Chains A and B, each alone.
Chain A
Amino acid sequence: MNSASSSAAFVLLLRRDLILAFRRRSEMLNPLLFFVLVTALFPLGIGANPVLLKAIAQGVIWVAALLASLLSLDAVFRSDFDDGSLEQYLLSSHPVSVLVLAKVLAHWLITGLPLLIIAPLLGVLLDLPWDSIKILMLTLALGTPVLSLIGSIGVALTVGLRRGGMILSLLVLPLYIPVLIFAANAVETAAAGLPITAHLSMLVGLLVLALSLSPLATAAALRVSLS
C-alpha cells in the first residue's frame, strides 16, 4: 500500500468518526457538562472568596479538563471494539498507527475542542482576568491533544476488560502530570507578568513527542488487547 491510500484511509476514518459523533450529539455534551459541573463544585466546596478563587482558578480548570478528558476516553475504541471494526483495522493493510491517529484526532475534535471553547466561560465564573483566560485557552489548545494521545495508550490496553474504567484512570493520570504542571504554571506565571515561552515550548515539545510516539504504543497495545 502506498502512502496516498494510507492518508485516504486516515481521512475516511476521521470523517466516519465525526459523522457518528454528530449523529449522537447528546453524548458529545456529557463531558462538557461534567467539565462545567466539576469546576462549579470548587467554589461551593471552598467558599466564594474571589481572591482564593482567582488564585486556584487555572489549577481547578485544568484538573477538571483532565478529568473530563479521562471520562470521555473510553469512547475512543469502545464502540469499534464492541462491533468488531477494531479487528478489521488491525487486519487492514494500512499502518495501524495512522488509523489510531485518525481516531484520536476525531476524539479530540469531539471532546477536546468543546472544552477549549467553553473554558473562557469557566474562567469568568472563577474571576480570572481576560489575559489569563487567553493563556489558559492557549495551554488547553496545546495540552488537551496530549491528553487524548497519552490516554489512547491506556484505553488500548484496557479496551478488552469488562471494568476497565478505574484501571484506566490509574494508568493514565500519572502520565498526565507533566501537562498539568506546565499548563497550569504557564497561566500563573503569565499572571505574574513573567515570560512563558519556556512553558509553551515544553508543552509543544510534549505534544510533538506524544504525536510521534503514542500512536505506535497505542497500535502495539491494541494488538495485545485483541490477541
Chain B
Amino acid sequence: MISRFFHQLGSPRYFYRFSGSLLPWLAVPCAVLMLAGLYQGLVVAPTDYQQGDSYRIIYIHVPSAWMSLFIYMVMAGAGAIALIWHMKLAEVIAISSAHIGASFTFLALITGSIWGKPMWGTWWVWDARLTSELILLFLYLGVIALYNAIDDKRTAARATAILSIVGVVNIPIIHYSVEWWNTLHQGPTVTKFDAPSIDMSMLIPLLLMAAAFKLYYVVVVLMRARCELLERERNTQWVNELAASK
C-alpha cells in the first residue's frame, strides 16, 4: 500500500495532481502560522532589556538560518535518491530546493547584517557563524551555476546531485575549521553573546515562525517543482491534455 503510493508519487503526472490538491492544505496553515508568529513576535513579545526592539529581527533571521542548512540536507537527500533510483521527481525537488535554500541563506546573511549594524557597530565581522553561512551561500550558488551550465537537464540534475553530496560531506568540516580558525585568531568577542536561556514569551513566536518557514518551504518547493515538471514534460501527452483542458 505504502510502497504503491510512493511508486505513484514518482510519476510526474500523479505528483502534479496530488501536489495540486495538497497545496491549499499547506498554504493556509503556513499563512496562519506566519501571521500568528509575526503578531506574537512584533507586538506581544516584550522588548529586550539590552537590545531594545531591534532584537525582533531574530524572528526572521534565526528561522532563515535554520532553513538554510535544513534545505541543503533535503537537497542532498533528494539528489542521492535521484542518483540511486533515477527518480525524475527527486531531481526536480533537489534543484527547486537549491534556489529556495540560496534565498534563505541570503536572507539570513542580510538580516544578520542589518541586526549587526546597531548591535556590533559594523555590517560585517569575520565571525565563525557568519563566515560558514557565507560559504554555504557559495556552495548553493555553485550548485545553481552548475545546473544552469549543463544543457541537458537530466544530466545537470545528476551532476548537481553529486556536487551537493560532496558538499554535505564537506559542510561539517568547513564549519568546524572556520570555527577553529576564528577562535585561533581572536578570543571571544562581542559576537559571543552569552544568551541566557531565552524567555518563553520570546521563544514561542520564534518556534511559530520556524514552523511557518518550514511550511513555506514545502509550499514553494512544491510550486517550483510543479512548474519545472511541466517544463520538462512539455512534450508528453498528459501535459498537452492539461494545457488543452485549460
Contacts and interface: CB of A to CB of B under 8 A. Distances in A.
Contacts of A153: 162-163, 166
Given A178-B174, A181-B178, A206-B173, A170 B165 contact: no
Q: For chain A, what secondary structure do more than half of its interface residues adopt (helix, strand, loop), or is it mixed?
A: helix
A174 B142 contact: yes
Interface string A60-78: 0000000000000000000
Given A158-B146, A158-B149, A170-B138, A217 B162 contact: yes
A178 B173 contact: yes
B145 A227 contact: no
B162 to A, nearest CB: 5
Interface in A149-204: 153, 157-158, 160-161, 163-164, 167, 170-171, 173-175, 177-178, 181-182, 185, 189, 202
A118 interface: no
A167 B145 contact: yes
A153 B167 CA distance: 11
Nearest to B177: A178
B174 A177 contact: yes
A170 B142 contact: yes
B173 to A, nearest CB: 5
Given A157-B146, A181-B177, A185-B180, 8 more contacts: A157-B162, A167-B145, A167-B146, A171-B145, A175-B167, A177-B177, A220-B162, A224-B162
Interface of B: 83, 135, 138-139, 141-142, 145-146, 149-150, 155, 158-159, 162-163, 165-167, 169-170, 173-174, 177-178, 180-181, 184
Interface of A: 153, 157-158, 160-161, 163-164, 167, 170-171, 173-175, 177-178, 181-182, 185, 189, 202, 206, 213, 217, 220-221, 224-225, 227
